[in-house]
């Protein structure tokens, strides 16, 4: 028996065209899932970076906006069916000292990381309850949900908020058979963190000290955690954070 068979799963992932998201999408497809990919970028840009598959469709929407998100769920339902797993994965990061953090940037970050996750999870939960579906929410948080890290305090705040949100959905909707869990990655070797690692020696020194396993996180390791949590192997999990961080969260900051 293939315990990671996802062929009966319809999985929606927000921010799925991003650096980590596109690797997650590839691995979910490889395990047989049907995948609805959401992002804010134009369809042609998303299609250029996403794998090609009959089991993949792209749905453009800003998930911080309730009407756009509801319309996206309508489109997903009519083209693929109602997802049984919804991944609140879209996110952004910004780096400034706390004393200089621009408030407009703070508001934007909270909108993308916290509000968009709530809007998506709320819309999914409403539909699952109306249709009697035992759905599963997966929130992408971060090891910094519990650990401070210089210059990204609004980001760490947002990830703590997402953890609390995940636990709230899990507790409140358990009696409807709806589950919620989080995946907390470490310092992933793609995008901004990788560029900083390659070009900024002080960041590299600090970050490599913070990774007990000693190397940046392969995005495939995040994707494998998604495959497991989406599978029936994780069916008894709710309210949990799956840390996949190379031990980053073990590091005491000085
Ligand atoms: N990169 C890391 O080291 C790391 C570590 C831990 C957690 N994470 C988390 O993983 C997730 C993905 O990160 P990434 O590094 O791939 O970043 P990324 O910027 O490459 O991907 C994020 C995607 O979200 C999309 N997006 C932004 N706002 C949106 C909205 N309102 N609606 C829909 N989509 C929207 C963006 O267009 C982008 O494609 C984020 O939640 C991030 O916080 C990343």
Per-residue pLDDT of the chain (254 residues; tens, 9 = 90+): 677 999 999 999 999 999 999 999 999 999 999 999 999 999 999 999 999 999 999 999 999 999 999 999 999 999 999 999 999 999 999 999 999 999 999 999 999 999 999 999 999 999 999 999 999 999 999 999 999 998 999 999 999 999 999 999 999 999 999 999 999 999 999 987 888 888 889 888 888 889 999 899 999 999 999 999 999 999 999 999 999 999 999 966 55
Rounded to 5 degrees, what are φ and ψ at 58? -105, 135
Nearest C-alpha neighbor of 138 from the set 237, 37, 19:
237
Is 137 close to ligand 1, i.e. is its CB under 6 Å away?
A: no
pLDDT reported for residue 120 = 99
Is 76 close to ligand 1, i.e. is its CB under 6 Å away?
A: no
The first and second tokens of residue 149, run together, are 């890290």
User: Residue 113 Cα, ligand 1 centroid: separation in angstroms?
Assistant: 9
Is 21 close to ligand 1, i.e. is its CB under 6 Å away?
A: yes
pLDDT reported for residue 71 = 98
Q: Which residues contact 139 (CB under 8 A, 6 or more apart)?
A: 87, 88, 117, 121, 162, 163, 165, 166, 180, 181, 182, 183
Rounded Cα gap, residues 188 and 209, in angstroms = 15
Q: Hey, whose CA ends up nearest to atom 42 of ligand 1?
A: 91
Query: Could you give the 3-state DSSP secondary structure of residue 84?
Result: coil
pTM for the complete prediction? 0.97
Is 37 close to ligand 1, i.e. is its CB under 6 Å away?
A: no
pLDDT reported for residue 253 = 53
User: Domain map of the chain by residue range?
Assistant: 10-189+219-244
Is 14 close to ligand 1, i.e. is its CB under 6 Å away?
A: yes
User: Residue 22 Cα, ligand 1 centroid: separation in angstroms?
Assistant: 10
pLDDT reported for residue 69 = 98
In CATH, what is the architecture of 10-189+219-244?
A: 3-Layer(aba) Sandwich (3.40)
pLDDT reported for residue 228 = 98
pLDDT reported for residue 191 = 80
Is 25 close to ligand 1, i.e. is its CB under 6 Å away?
A: no
Strands 136-140 and 10-13: unpaired
Whether the Cβ atoms of residue 192 and residue 227 lie closer than 8 Å to each other: no
Is 91 close to ligand 1, i.e. is its CB under 6 Å away?
A: yes
Torsion of CA 146, 151, 157, 158, to 10 degrees: -110
pLDDT reported for residue 1 = 66
User: Residue 122 Cα, ligand 1 centroid: separation in angstroms?
Assistant: 19
The first and second tokens of residue 29, run together, are 């497809």
pLDDT reported for residue 68 = 98
Helices (H), 132-247: 153-173, 191-199, 201-210, 219-230
């Amino acid at each position: 028996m293939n315990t990671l068979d996802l062929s009966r799963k319809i999985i929606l992932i927000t921010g799925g065209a991003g650096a980590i998201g596109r690797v997650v999408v590839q691995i979910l497809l490889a395990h047989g899932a049907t995948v609805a990919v959401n992002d804010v970028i134009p369809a042609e840009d998303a299609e250029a970076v996403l794998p090609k598959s009959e089991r993949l469709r792209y749905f453009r929407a800003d998930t911080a906006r309730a009407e756009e998100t509801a319309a996206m769920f309508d489109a997903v339902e009519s083209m693929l069916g109602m997802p049984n797993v919804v991944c609140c994965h879209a996110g952004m990061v910004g780096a400034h000292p706390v004393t200089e953090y621009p408030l407009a940037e703070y508001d934007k970050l909270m909108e993308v990381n916290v509000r968009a996750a709530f809007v998506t999870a709320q819309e999914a939960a409403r539909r699952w309850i109306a249709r009697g579906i035992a759905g599963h929410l997966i929130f992408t948080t971060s090891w910094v949900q519990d650990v401070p890290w210089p210059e990204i305090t609004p980001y760490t705040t947002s990830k703590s908020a997402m953890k609390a949100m995940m636990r709230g959905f899990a507790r409140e909707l358990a009696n409807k058979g709806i589950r919620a869990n989080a995946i907390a990655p470490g310092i992933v070797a793609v995008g901004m963190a990788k560029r900083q690692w390659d070009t900024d020696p002080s960041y590299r020194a600090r970050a490599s000290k913070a990774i007990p396993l000693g190397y940046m996180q392969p995005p495939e390791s995040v994707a494998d955690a998604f495959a497991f949590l989406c599978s029936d192997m994780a069916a008894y999990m709710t309210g949990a954070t799956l840390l996949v961080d190379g031990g980053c969260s073990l590091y005491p900051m000085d």
